Chains A and B, each alone.
Chain A
């Protein structure tokens, strides 16, 4: 089956212009591919480059070299609007942090990806209600802005938002962190459903049990960590 996400020979370094132009290589020769319906876990020590690779997949970091393909979109070298279109329609992202405009009600925050992808307000809100209920976010909070919520509540809103639109490809950054057992099970269920409908998923899970339950393969990114200059 054809791969949905393809990464080949990707490298990345940071150049700190304001600190004497120091060059910090963080990745070299990164390669992976993820098929539809497959969930791949990125593993490796802290600082090995798991988040950096995820961010490059999302177009958030620029790759220095190599190729990143998500569906038909060549992320490396794409125009901003092509990346934006990819994020609206193809590639979903559940980050660890919720970044939203203050004041916008939770229901709208969660429904937004559906509307961005062309869905109606009704469809978006119906989906948002369903997800918020499944993730046990109390209904009395739905009309409030999530900016005032507790960490766990914000995380669940973030997950609901990430799963609102049926993306063909998804990036999950610690989706089960700071969740209780009940909600953790709900999230793993959502991941399995996404796989079942054919989504290609790349995830970072510190939670080894969760990883074992939903991931088909593991890729150790420390393989792509360049040798540190001594």
Chain B
């Protein structure tokens, strides 16, 4: 099986300071990988380098494209990379406002990616938008409301619908449940898990919440000071951490 994503020696420096260094891994179709670490550990830098939002200094991010097989996305042309960004890739921001167009309706937010890849039939676009709102548990009668009028959890679900409507194969998520009430988090986790399963998505989830990765991620990557200190099966890393930092991280979680 060809990995969906092959990352090789990815390094990003901010001047003299290391953002993330020498990160390598393979992600296979259908796999969900969590990246954990404290603030400043480089996990968001890594995610943004992977997603093409930041230009790394060294390394390769090879994606198995539908048309041409594995291609290094860092050296592919910008139009091709942007096309990937609105077709096979999706990015869910921590703050829904960063990932939504707050000035247009929920329906238009979901429909935008469809229109961006050439959908030109209003009725079809709207029907798909309504279908996706339903999948993320937003009532059909909210389709013409702007996201401003939505709660934080609804905004986050709308962002997810907007991202998944074109059937991407790889989703990047940056603290997708951050800043939400625990009850809202649970609902979102359930939803994400269901969608990942149904659509056979691969995902890379950055979070500092170990409970989130335990439920969502198959594999875990632990980062500290820009470097990967431990990787492995999620429950193995959490239950039998090998690196001192991971042990500290796991033992620092408050038990409920």
Contacts and interface: CB of A to CB of B under 8 A. Distances in A.
A interacts with B: yes
B244 A17 contact: yes
Interface string A26-65: 0000000000000000000000000000010001111000
Contacts of A17: 243-244, 247-248
B217 to A, nearest CB: 10
A125 to B, nearest CB: 15
A104 interface: yes
B233 A59 contact: yes
Contacts of A15: 242
B24 interface: no
B251 A18 contact: yes
Contacts of A18: 244, 247-248, 251
B215 interface: yes
B218 A101 contact: no
Contacts of B31: 81
A55 B239 contact: yes
A14 B31 CA distance: 29
A101 B215 contact: yes
Contacts of A102: 186, 189-190
A134 interface: no
Nearest to A56: B240
A80 B219 contact: yes
Given A80-B218, A81-B28, A83-B233, A16 B190 contact: no
A103 interface: yes
B190 A104 contact: yes
Interface in B161-214: 186-187, 189-190, 193, 197, 214
B236 interface: yes
A84 interface: yes
Nearest to A116: B197
Given A18-B251, A81-B28, A102-B186, A60 B193 contact: no
Given A18-B247, A60-B239, A84 B233 contact: yes
Nearest to B217: A80
Interface string A3-31: 00000000000111110000000000000
A14 B235 CA distance: 16
A101 B193 contact: yes
Interface in A140-188: none
A84 B28 CA distance: 12
A115 B198 CA distance: 11
Interface string B229-256: 0001111100110111001100100000
Contacts of A61: 236, 239-240
Chain A CB count within 10 A is highest, among B190, B218, B239, B251, for B190
Interface in B19-35: 28, 31
A58 to B, nearest CB: 9
A76 to B, nearest CB: 12
Contacts of A101: 186, 189-190, 193, 215
B232 A80 contact: yes
B236 A81 contact: no
Nearest to A103: B190
Contacts of A99: 214
Given A61-B239, A101-B215, A16 B247 contact: yes
B215 A59 contact: no
A15 B230 CA distance: 15
B155 to A, nearest CB: 19
Given A18-B251, A80-B232, A103-B187, A62 B215 contact: no
B256 to A, nearest CB: 12
Interface string A110-138: 00000100000000000000000000000
A42 B244 CA distance: 31
Nearest to A104: B190
A60 B235 contact: yes
30 contacts: A14-B240, A16-B247, A17-B244, A18-B244, A55-B240, A59-B236, A60-B235, A60-B240, A61-B236, A61-B239, A61-B240, A62-B232, A62-B236, A62-B240, A80-B234, A81-B28, A81-B31, A81-B218, A81-B219, A83-B233, A83-B236, A99-B214, A101-B186, A101-B189, A101-B190, A101-B193, A101-B215, A102-B190, A103-B187, A104-B190
Given A14-B240, A84-B218, 16 more contacts: A18-B247, A18-B248, A59-B236, A60-B235, A60-B240, A61-B239, A61-B240, A62-B232, A62-B236, A81-B28, A81-B218, A81-B219, A83-B236, A99-B214, A101-B189, A102-B190
